[in-house]
């Protein structure tokens, strides 16, 4: 450089008015002018502005690119001789190289693809000594990030899935997948949801009527190309309600436990192969029971010496998820004894307090949602008939020490069916009553009209009430009596219809305008007897 022909006594130099990409180096001389140090490695000053005589363009024209994507760098200007240079700097190491070492140089174009993740600066150099503008290119396969809301489910509620890519959101299509346990590979398989076979432009979708524990994932694709981000980590929507095909029970049946106390988780359902999964609030990813405790058949036994709070659930070899339960372990202090599963509305429940080595305490104070509800010499809180207002957080206090709080869920009987045995006990006699009524009406018509004048048809009623719970089955029947004979001899029934609606549940019979509401349609039998006008 003109300013340094004879060297300088300073170890720094200011260059004014630099406009284009350029490279610099330095060396030092001492004493005898022929005694010089080695030249330094070249250092570059990059400009994004095109030089009047040299420029670099990128195809596809964007900074973020996918690994294994074909990228073309085109040099243009007044020269007929070009080379493309790349500079990568990472982990305190730098690499300066020509296109010929990582791509193919054809004329004034460099074409390359790479499976490596990196950020690099690219530019063109001409045979006449010109530098082009420089461009930044990032090679990466971005992550898809899924969030679910809510994560704890009220059966039948809608769930929102949202997918995010750590790049610009423009130009992406989103695909939504159901996560299915695959015990043979100790992993999950992914199944596209029907509504997202072609992807969606929206980065969120709503899953209506979710009833059971389930896992979901998402993946984003770039426009109509074959380049995809990574699958998101599975996210789970947990329900405390047992699935008909899979359920998880806890022994001893409480949420809070002291460390070193054995807790057994039992998986039940129509599978012969199970694994128990855990998700800790501290952010640890879910892991199978076999990595931290012993799994014997369908049972997993925990004996832990550390404090933690986790969600546990079962996954079956047939791809089912069970309900999920909260389990809290702590070293010392006071524990609340509360049920780990939801309590059925109308049932009785007893909450108590315990210290390590003491199973029953007196003079215990109880709180519901941080509100004092009992303060006397009793050591237990008894609720004789649980209602929805009893749902919430509970904790106990003894001698100035408070337990952790636990959520007690209440199962609404208007939405949840009872076992088949009590249903049969109620529905069976009800069917007999309905049959007797029908027979009496038949006898009335037969005596008055004669059998030849009577036509009886039985058919399913139209437009049955939609059931919010697909697992329940409702039977509808409609009997119509039609008169085709002499109109002078007949019974004159009152106009209108007679409905019989029988439902098992603590709340007794439930009906609305002659038809049960969707929330109350569990295990119900409908019989409709209708007389047509003009008999």
What was the pLDDT predicted at 53? 81
**pTM beyond 0.75:** no
71, β-bridge pairs:
112
> How much of the chain is helix, strand and coil, in % rounded to 5?
10, 45, 45
What does CATH list as the number for 333-412?
2.60.40.10
Buried b or exposed e, range 427-438, using 16+ CB within 10 angstroms: beebbeebeeeb
Q: The domain at 144-239 falls in which architecture?
A: Sandwich (2.60)
Using one digit for the tens of pLDDT, what is the confidence trace for 129-166? 888 998 999 888 888 999 999 988 888 889 999 999 87
Sequence length of the chain is 535
Average pLDDT (276-286) is: 72
The least confident of 228-242, 333-347, 350-364, 438-452 is: 438-452
pLDDT grade, residue 237 (50/70/90)?
A: very high
The pLDDT score that the predictor gives to residue 246 is 93
More confident residue, 19 or 264: 264
Query: How many Å apart are CA 292 and CA 301, to the nearest integer?
Result: 10
Q: What is the pLDDT of residue 292?
A: 64
Q: Mapping DSSP to helix (H, G, I), strand (E, B) and coil, where does residue 316 land?
A: strand
Q: Given a cut of 50, is residue 458 above it in pLDDT?
A: no
Confidence of residue 466 (pLDDT cuts 50, 70, 90): very low
Q: What is the CATH number of domain 17-140?
A: 2.60.40.10
CB 232 within 8 Å of CB 183: no
pLDDT band at 395 (very low <50, low <70, confident <90, very high): very high
CA dihedral 277, 282, 285, 290 (to 10 degrees): -40
Q: What does the pLDDT read at residue 524?
A: 33
Q: What's 242-331's CATH class?
A: mainly beta
Q: Higher model confidence: residue 428 or residue 472?
A: 428
Q: Write down the mean pLDDT value for the chain.
A: 75
Strands, sheet with 524-531, edge to edge from the N-terminal-most edge strand: 454-459, 475-483, 524-531, 497-503
Out of 17-26, 54-63, 515-524, least confident range: 515-524
Quote the distance between the C-alpha of residue 418 and its chain's center. 28
Closest CA to 326 of 387, 263, 270, 273: 263
Q: 82-91, 102-111, 384-393: which has the minimum mean pLDDT?
A: 82-91
Does pLDDT of 282 surpass 50?
A: yes
Q: In the chain, pLDDT over 70 holds for what percent of residues?
A: 64
Between 111 and 196, residue with greater pLDDT:
111
Residue 255, pLDDT above cutoff 70 = yes
Asked whether the CA dihedral 443, 445, 447, 452 is positive or negative, the reply is: negative
What letter does residue 421 receive in the DSSP assignment?
H
Question: Which pLDDT value is given to residue 227?
Answer: 82
Q: Indicate whether 238 pLDDT > 50.
A: yes
Mean pLDDT of 479-490: 37
Mean pLDDT to the nearest integer, 67-96: 85
State the pLDDT at residue 302.
85
Q: Are the beta carbons of 239 and 321 closer than 8 angstroms?
A: no
State the span(s) of the chain assigned CATH 2.60.40.10: 17-140, 144-239, 242-331, 333-412
Label the pairing between strands 524-531 and 475-483: parallel
Q: What is the pLDDT of residue 380?
A: 92
Dist CA 505 CA 503 (whole Å): 6
Q: Which two tokens stand for residue 285?
A: 């990813």
């Amino acid at each position: 450089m003109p300013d340094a022909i004879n060297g300088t006594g300073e170890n720094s130099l200011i260059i004014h008015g630099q406009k284009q990409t350029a490279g610099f180096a330095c060396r030092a001389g001492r004493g005898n002018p022929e005694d010089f140090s080695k030249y330094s490695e070249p250092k570059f000053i990059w400009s994004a502005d095109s030089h009047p005589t040299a420029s670099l363009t990128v195809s596809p024209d964007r900074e973020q690119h996918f690994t294994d994507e074909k990228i073309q760098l085109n040099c243009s200007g007044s020269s007929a001789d070009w080379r493309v240079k790349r500079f990568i700097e990472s982990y305190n190491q730098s690499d300066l190289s020509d296109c010929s070492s990582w791509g193919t140089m054809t004329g004034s174009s460099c074409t390359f693809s790479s499976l490596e993740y990196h950020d690099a600066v690219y530019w063109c150099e001409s045979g006449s000594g010109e530098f082009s503008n420089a461009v930044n290119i990032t090679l990466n396969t971005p992550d898809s990030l899924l969030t679910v809301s809510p994560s704890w489910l009220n059966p039948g509620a809608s769930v929102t899935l949202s997918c995010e890519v750590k790049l610009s959101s423009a130009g992406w299509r989103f695909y939504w997948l159901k996560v299915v346990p695959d015990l043979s590979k100790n992993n999950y398989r992914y199944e596209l949801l029907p509504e997202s076979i072609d992807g969606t432009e929206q980065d969120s979708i709503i899953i209506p009527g979710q009833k059971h524990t389930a896992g979901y994932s998402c993946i984003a694709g770039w426009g109509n190309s074959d380049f995809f981000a990574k699958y998101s980590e599975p996210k789970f929507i947990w329900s405390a309600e047992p699935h008909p095909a899979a359920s998880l029970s806890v022994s001893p049946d409480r949420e809070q436990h002291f460390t070193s106390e054995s807790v057994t988780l039992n998986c039940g359902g129509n599978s012969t192969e199970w694994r128990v999964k855990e998700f800790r609030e501290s952010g640890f990813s879910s892991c199978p029971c076999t990595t931290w405790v012993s799994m014997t058949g369908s049972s997993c036994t925990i004996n832990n010496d550390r404090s933690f709070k986790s969600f546990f659930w079962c996954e079956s070899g047939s791809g089912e998820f069970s309900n999920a339960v909260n389990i809290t372990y702590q070293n010392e202090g006071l524990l609340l004894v509360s049920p780990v599963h939801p309590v059925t509305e109308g049932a009785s429940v007893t909450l108590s307090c315990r210290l390590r080595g003491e199973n029953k305490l007196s003079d215990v104070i109880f709180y519901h949602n941080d509100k004092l509800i009992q303060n006397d010499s009793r050591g237990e809180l008894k609720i004789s008939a649980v209602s929805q207002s009893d749902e919430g957080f509970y904790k106990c206090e003894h001698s100035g020490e408070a337990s952790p709080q636990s959520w007690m869920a209440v199962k609404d009987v208007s939405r949840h069916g009872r076992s088949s045995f009590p249903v049969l006990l109620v529905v069976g006699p009800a069917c007999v009553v309905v049959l007797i009524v029908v027979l009496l009406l038949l006898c009335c018509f037969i005596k008055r009209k004669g059998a030849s004048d009577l036509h009886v048809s039985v058919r399913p009623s139209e437009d049955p009430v939609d059931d919010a719970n697909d697992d329940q089955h409702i039977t509808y029947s409609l009997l119509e009596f039609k008169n085709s004979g002499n109109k002078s001899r007949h019974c004159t029934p009152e106009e209108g219809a007679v409905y019989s609606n029988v439902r098992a549940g603590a709340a007794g019979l439930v009906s609305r305008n002659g038809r049960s509401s969707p929330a109350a349609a569990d295990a119900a039998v409908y019989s409709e007897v209708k007389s047509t006008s003009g008999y």
